[in-house]
Each structure stands twice: as structure tokens, then as C-alpha cells.
A = this chain, B = another copy of it.
Amino acid sequence: MENRIEKIKKQLHSQSYKLTPQREATVRVLLEHEEDHLSAEDVYLLVKEKSPEIGLATVYRTLELLSELKVVDKINFGDGVSRYDLRKEGAEHFHHHLVCVECGSVKEIEEDLLGDVEKIVESQWEFKVKDHRLTFHGICKKCQSHDDDK
């Protein structure tokens, strides 16, 4: 945890940004909720618990900054809200998501499933892939078994 904060701090410094208390508080919230997919508002409310003086605009600005630095990925699951997802340590690509259309749960997949597909895209369409977004919509394990009850 402290270790990752330290790394992010260095990353900010390398671009002459500072890890201010507000920014640190925001990063901590993200670290504590790695599994979740928080909206800016969510992050704001959580940060506010520890640092009540923070403003919503600051949270937006921080998330935007972290997004530029590739510390977080901004993602949108189709509701009108942007969500922010911490990149895993050393991850080159954004991880994938399984969104359950019944219960709304979101599961993350770390494995890179797209290696072959990217090769095809690069050769067949001559498109230099830098990153990707892959989300599956479907029914999660839990909802499948619930459906059996019906």
C-alpha cells in the first residue's frame, strides 16, 4: 500500500506534479476499493469521510490527472457515469470486465485474453494497438443459479 503510494508519488514528481494531501487521499480511496468501480461522486464521498474539506472538483481533477498518467483507467459501462479503475501493478493493458445484466455486478479479469486478437488486428488492419477496452455483458454465475429456481 505505502509502497504503491510511493510509486505514484514518484510518477507524479517525474512530470512535476505534486502528491498533495488531497491527491493522496484520493489515491488511498482508490487503493482501498480496488475491486470496485467507483464513479467520481463515489470517490468524492469516500474521500470526504477522511478529508471533509475536499471539493468535488478536486476529485475530478485528480482522477483526470491520474488517468493521464495511466495510474487509473476511466471506463464507462453504459450508464451515464465515468468510473475509475486502478491499473494493476505493472499491467500493460487494461483488464477486462464481466458485467452481469441481471444483478449489475462487475467482475475483473486480469488474464490477457487478447494477445492473439491484437496480433490479428495489427497485421490485418495495420493498426498499432496501444490499449483496449473489453467488456462482456451477460449473466454471472450467481444469477444463473438463481434463474434455475424460476
Q: Which residues of A contact B (CB under 8 A)?
A: 74, 76, 78, 80, 82, 98, 100-101, 107, 109, 113-114, 116-118, 120-121, 125-141, 144
- What is the interface of chain A mostly: helix, strand, loop, or mixed? strand
> Known pairs A114-B117, A130-B136. 10 more at Cβ < 8 A?
A98-B125, A113-B121, A118-B136, A127-B140, A128-B139, A128-B144, A129-B136, A132-B134, A132-B136, A134-B135
- Across the interface, name the chain B residue whose C-beta is closest to A135: B133
Which chain B positions have C-beta within 8 A of A113?
117, 120-121
A-B contact pairs, 8 of them (CB 8 A): A80-B82, A109-B125, A113-B121, A114-B117, A127-B138, A130-B138, A133-B135, A134-B134
Known A-B contacts A132-B136, A133-B134, A135-B133; A141 and B117 likewise in contact (beta carbons under 8 Å): no
